[in-house]
Amino acid sequence: FCIFFVCFCRYAAVPDRCTGIEFDAITPDDKGNALFFKDGHIWKGFHGPAQLSSEHFKELTGHVDAAFRMHNTGNPDDHDHIYLFMGDKVFSYFNQSLEEGYPKQIQEDFPGVPAHLDAAVECPKGECIADSVLFFKGQDVYVYDITTKTVKTKAWSHLPSCTSIFRWLEHYYCFHGHNFTRFHPVTGEVVGEYPKDTRNYFMRCPNFGHGSNHKPVKCSEVKLDAATTDDTGRTYFFSGSSYMRQDTHRDGFHNFPIIRGWKEVTNGVDAVFSYTNKIYLIKGDQIYIYKADAHFTLIEGYPKTVKEELGIEGHVDAAFVCPTENVAHIFQGNRMRDVDLTATPRIIVQDRPLPLSDIDAGLCGADGIKLFKGSQYYSYESPMILAMGRIAPRPAHITSAMMACED
């Protein structure tokens, strides 16, 4: 009975985030997995049970005050390291291993930043004025410039008291209780109607929406409509009314409705390509061109017809533009039509038959070309080899390593 009782107590002590708890800290790890901390436990990702923090960070023995992943591309010795704060100490980890010389006093690494923090978050240049870390304590925010190692203090009394902060796909979220509030990282301005329940968005919980409703499709059932990689290296896969986006390996894939990124486009797309910091979305006989900034902005005068913009008539199956090239490769049936994007008006400069037909999506990157058809794809080294080919290569199967699907 005593043994049973001890085991029962240990089991009962494991927290369940779906009951509505307040997180101590949240940060992505160096591989893009979201880590949620509560007392001596941690959740890895948006679903699954809690585990002991010491299973991931063996030196941790309890409550974590704050955590963030460092963004410092100018210093590879710091970039992608995970910083955890406990009392007046800071721990630096890489690949779940504690760095030599840690833990340290917070002031040694971050002069001007107080002890016993509430929250912290990385803020890269472009989202903040300079590469920075935002430290929160009460209503005060300490903006730490990682280059100059200087601190500016702000008071954001309009924000709730944040027990953790999470930067997710260029947006910033203050977590308080089991709710969260999105805010601007420079002004602290609340963006939208908040607070919202964390269980509807950042985890999968029974009887809650958003995160609980999205389930990865099996890789054998993938059916893409379009794909592209923009000038910053972000990759997008479009399917139906949704798209998956991966910023880098650090952030993993995330699923959103298309109208969240491109509000003027509804009911899916037929083809997409990126060129000169713009993203071109083709739907039916219309083409929408957006500036590919932090928030996509439709260029004035669009949509236009595909014929007017590209000189192409008829349904477009797929499209891609290779990095450093000025040609859009447009797929229609079993033909590839190349459009010179530097010409005015734009014209078809080459029209070739292919040993493939009805391609779903095309993607071109440093590793060559992938043409997707159903749950398979065909690889080519270059557009020239693709255009000259007379026999289709053997297809390969889409895997979970390529996109957010289940093998």
Q: Binding site for heme, residues?
A: 210, 254
CA-based torsion, 298, 300, 302, 307: positive or negative = negative
Q: Copy the structure tokens of residue 36.
A: 């949620």
Identity (one letter) of the amino acid at 318? Answer: A
What's the CA gap between 320 and 363, in Å, rounded? 6
What's the CA gap between 44 and 213, in Å, rounded? 19
Tell me: cis bond preceding 103? Omega within 30 of 0 counts. Answer: yes
**CA distances for 316 relative to 24, 76, 288, angstroms:** 49, 43, 14
Q: Report the length, in residues, of the chain.
A: 407
User: Which value, in Å, is the radius of gyration of the alpha carbons in the chain?
Assistant: 24
Is-contact 90 84, C-beta < 8 A? yes
Q: SS3 for 407?
A: coil
Identify which of 341, 364, 405, 377 has the alpha carbon closest to the alpha carbon of residue 229. Answer: 364
Q: Copy the structure tokens of residue 269.
A: 């797309």
Q: Kindly provide the b/e burial profile for residues 82-96, where b requires at least 16 CB atoms within 10 angstroms of the residue's own CB.
A: bbbbbeeebbbbbee
Please enumerate, by residue number, every residue annotated as part of a binding site.
Answer: 210, 254
Identity (one letter) of the amino acid at 14? Answer: V
Class of residue 98 by CB neighbours under 10 A (exposed 0-12, middle 13-18, buried 19+): middle
Helix %, strand %, coil % of the chain (to 5): 10, 40, 50
